[in-house]
Amino acid sequence: MKKLFLSAAAVLSVGLLAGCGVQGNEGSQSALAQSIVQEQNGQTSQDSVSAQSSRDTAQATPTSDASSQADTVQSGDIGEAQATAIALADAGLSEEDVLYLRAHLDRDDGFIYYDVDFASAEGVEYDYEIQASDGAVLKAERDRDDDSRKYQNTPEGSNTASSASAAISFEEAKNMALGRVSGASEQNLEMELEHEDSILQYEGEIHYGGMEYEFEINAETGEFIKWHEDHD
């Protein structure tokens, strides 16, 4: 009888222990499930923040692009060649009609413009300011120079007697000067033959590429007496 009682007690103890184990496992499983749910909720929240940030960035980008495009439009430049063509057309001349032609980009009081200068064979000097953004003529001035001889880039433009006595011809002196400025042509050159301190010499200027070149060439030896470069 006593053995039977002990056996029943052992069975009951095992059952109670098993029940506690099941409850413990269920509790652990419940805690794990809650942890997983919390992590998922946290990840969802982070994803929402990331998605919102991406939308904000996407919305800001077009505004930046539009601003960049506007800056490009405002900083437009018709170019030196177009500005020169506009000035010549306004004066009713072509490049073949002028004795010299120079142009450079300039700025004044917030306006960016091209300063274009040239002279006709009749001795009329032209001074233009052409707006760089749209080609509008900001200034157009003309002045007659009675001493048009200094613009005549031919031997006839110099003193005939002196030119005849010079060892270096007008054409040779012209080529020597232009040879020092790559890309420059006769239209960028002003030159004349002069007596200076009993020396017969060619004096002139070349205006090209935003630079001014001043020179003096000994008409007897072909030696450069002076060569000076400066921004035009």
Specify the pLDDT at position 218: 93
SS3 assignment, position 147: coil
* In a shared domain, residues 86 and 109: yes
Specify the pLDDT at position 110: 80
* In a shared domain, residues 105 and 124: yes
The last residue of one of the domains, among 34, 50, 74, is 74
SS3 assignment, position 144: strand
Specify the pLDDT at position 103: 87
Specify the pLDDT at position 143: 85
- Write the DSSP assignment of 154-194 as a string of letters: SGGGS-HHHHHH-SS-HHHHHHHHHTTSTT--GGGEEEEEE
The last residue of one of the domains, among 114, 144, 174, is 144
The last residue of one of the domains, among 100, 128, 144, is 144
* In a shared domain, residues 226 and 159: yes
Strand order in the sheet with 211-218: 189-196, 199-208, 211-218, 224-231
* In a shared domain, residues 134 and 88: yes
Backbone φ/ψ region at 157: left (φ over 0), alpha (ψ -120 to 50), beta: alpha
* In a shared domain, residues 167 and 214: yes
pLDDT tens-digit map of 122-143: 878 899 999 999 999 999 998 8
Domain count, the chain: 3
Give the pTM: 0.43
* In a shared domain, residues 223 and 158: yes
CATH number at residue 200: 3.10.450.40
Range of the domain at 13: 1-74
Which residues of the chain have a pLDDT value below 70?
Answer: 1-75, 145-165
* In a shared domain, residues 156 and 227: yes
- Nearest alpha carbon to residue 117 among 96, 135, 100: 100
* In a shared domain, residues 65 and 85: no
Q: How many CB atoms lie within 10 A of CB 143?
A: 10
pLDDT tens-digit map of 3-22: 545 555 554 454 544 454 54
